[in-house]
Structure 1
Amino acid sequence: MPTASPCASTTARSPRWTSPPATRAPESCRPLARCRPFDGGRPAALDAHGVEMARALHEMRGEDGKRRYTVQQIADRLGVSRATIYRHLDPDNPVSA
């Protein structure tokens, strides 16, 4: 008869409306987690060239002194969200790509 792995989830035994207890994984599971490679998380939406382009487009002014491109237009052109553009344009929090 097969036995349950020490790393088996306890959520299968608990009802759906309750959350599983906040406990640490058994000691036998920790070495398995250390064996997996860590690739550094999610890739950046904009590379250094994209950040430079976004900043340059944002600083461009028309003849009337207003900004030539809106943040939405810049985001559409670069294929990212407005939040990404704002994150890279924030003068108080410079983000390096």
Structure 2
Amino acid sequence: MWQAVLFAFLAGIFATNGIPHFVKGITKDSYPCLFGNSSVPNLVAGWLSFAVAILFAYGTNIEQYPLASLVSGAVGVLLMGLFHAAGLAFGQKS
């Protein structure tokens, strides 16, 4: 069960972190990113975050532990959302 909880949590973290990068990339806005602040590195970073989230979600045994997976995934989404909302992302000014 611990693997389902951990993988679902990480899937939520990576999926939520990918959203601002992907959106800023497709709208050609600048956004802090480890690969560069322009649109293309952000698009790639967002896409990679989504790909990693899918891999973690695939590794989660959702069928066996549906409630634990859902709750831990939701907690991951909430924590990463709060992280971005608080302006704590790399290079962001609060």
TM-score (norm 2): 0.25
Greater C-alpha Rg: 1
TM-score (norm 1): 0.25
